[in-house]
Chain A
């Protein structure tokens, strides 16, 4: 083989790998954090697909239910406040962990956990109220069957992510109390939690406001 590259049966020498391994550390980050980013982009595209499908259904329907008649916007705005606040507490946790203050980080993680649990509680109340008013996956009192389907699909999928985040944070808090958590672990949990907040920005705007 030319260019000084050697290749033998069953083994490949370093020069061949050097051409195919993508260079040295193109993203300058550890593999765990990089994999979290890959997950975030992939999961974000699932949400993008749901929201695009919702936009499609909305645009092809002449009369879409007026959200202000269906939802209590003040309650949804409060849910948004809770999630944004929990994102700020999580960012503070990551900041403390980065500076080696795991006791301080533990306090912020606990506050974030409370925020997530409160968000889930309010969402459960919202779902219960709407189901009580007759909203189902295939029909609802506001006329357009797809409205209920998309409501439960999109907010349910997001709520599932919040629930997962709460479980992740609870595990992290437990590991911190045992002194086995690392600052890298806090950062990964933080990335996931901020992603949940980021997705809610889209859901809040596209589903509840527009």
Chain B
């Protein structure tokens, strides 16, 4: 395998990892404040169809993204209402929500099957790279890829360097203390469930407006579930999500490229290969938790009830 191919794989891995990165940043924020949002797959599908619908209706992809933000925030508020205010079981709620959104997105999406959106996110041409065409697959990405990178850095800064970030972490690790400081745990959990949902929605819109521009039912294809694993993989640290998402993307791209070369490894194995990575890391995370104590948010998936221990 020559250098050109390796760089191509990395470039493609970055693209493939971007929807995971958006969703993982959002889920890290939600889980850090104690909310396990398993509705990601459904939110992605809703984001994909909303984005595609508005982008093809108005002819402007940014209006599509704006619509995704609004709708995902609404869906996130519903999730927060259920999981934070009514303290429903977060695992069951998330799964039920995904099933609901899978059906709803299919219903809304029926008229958009086979419709071609005129304005979608295209790779940005970088003329100054003409001298080194090898680097083009890596750096010639669409704008959403770059936004995701900035967002990842911003999330790291926010969680660890700001007061609001401290509140976020406290809401997950020690909500009673946060409450006694006069900060509403409910409010904090509402905010990040909604933020997480918006990012999952954008992840979906990335699929339908940039990655494979079209609406096809069920196009999230399990990426929402994979994101849940990626968050453990990232040890609940926003800055680690980028490594996880891109690494998975690269393994994913590699598996296809190896097969195109006719390498004598059955494609069953190659398709399975990228998923071995999260499994291995999950084992390492759990092993590390045994050695040094778990670093998962202490009240993850535990609904908060003011006044109770």
Interaction A to B: no
